[in-house]
Structure 1
Amino acid sequence: MNELDQTLAAMDFDFLGNGEHAMSVDGMRKAIGNEHFLFLDVRADKEKEYCDFPFTKHIPLHELPSRLDELPKDKCIIAFCSSIFRGAVAYTYLRANGYAEVKGLAATMEEMVGAFKPGPLTKMQAS
């Protein structure tokens, strides 16, 4: 069984049910600024031009295989995109390539952008 087979085999009902593979918007707010977390933006370059998050590392999904060496294995990597789909693909790819601590951001772009409105941003900076 190869690494991808093993990764997929581990994604059973219990795995999906416990939610440890995902991070919420609230979790994102708490993790920003913590050096142990690296937010991986796998959106296309065009998408990033219109909405950028300065706390992220941007590697478009189609470039991930050739740029994998840019990602540390000693941090928790949270993959995300505008539709959640590419984030899930990146999550699976990273796990299949030996990254033990990976999460997918379970949030839409609208939810992410909403986290940085004045009210939520003020609360985040106060804590």
Structure 2
Amino acid sequence: MSFGEYLADFDYVARKEMKIDSEALVKGLKEGKLHLIDIRFKEEFEAWRMGFAKNIPLNELPGRLKELPKDKTIVTACPHMDRAILAMAYLRTQGFDSQYLTDGLLGLAEYLRGDKARDFINKGIKPPQ
């Protein structure tokens, strides 16, 4: 699908389906339905990271599509959401089911505090390979 075709098909349903928040992300990861990619530059990822996200920088995404599962929804994330939106749109044009994290990695870090972090990690969530 071209980006023009993606835009031509864009409606209120597509607008809702392209977004996911931290609570829904954590639930989907626990259920094994989602795959989280951190699309920040390598240096940003090395400075701080979510141990259960795969780092594929936005500028490397086109060359690394084979690393992504087709049987899961790909959730794109960055500290806020600017790059994540670009990555989500690109992945959709490449045939992937994709969403972007609306509250970003900073919101996810805030959400996964205390008991929520413990319970999430105790579910055996592992970093994607």
Number of residues of Structure 1 aligned to a counterpart in Structure 2 = 123
Contact in 2 for aligned 1:44/1:60 (Cα 8 Å) = yes
Distance 2:102 2:20 in 1: 6
Where does structure 1 lack aligned partners over 5 or more consecutive residues? Answer: none
| Counterparts of 1:47 and 1:113, CA distance in 2 | 15
- The one-letter code of the counterpart of 1:117 is R
Distance 1:120 1:94 in 2: 29
Q: Which residue of 1 aligns with 2:109?
A: 113
The equivalent residue for 2:88 is: 91
What letter matches 1:106 in structure 2? T
In the aligned structure 2, how far is the partner of 1:75 from the partner of 1:109? 20
Aligned pair 1:12/2:11, yes or no? yes
In the aligned structure 1, how far is the partner of 2:117 from the partner of 2:36? 18
TM-score of the pair, normalised by structure 2: 0.83
Aligned match of 1:49 in 46, 49, 56? 46
Percent identity, aligned pairs only, is 28
RMSD (CA atoms): 2.0
Give the aligned partner of residue 62 of structure 1: 59
Alignment of 1:69-80 (within 5 A): 69-80=66-77
Asked whether the 8 Å contact 1:84–1:105 carries over to 2, the reply is yes
Unaligned runs of 5+ in 2: 124-129
TM-score, scaled relative to structure 1: 0.84
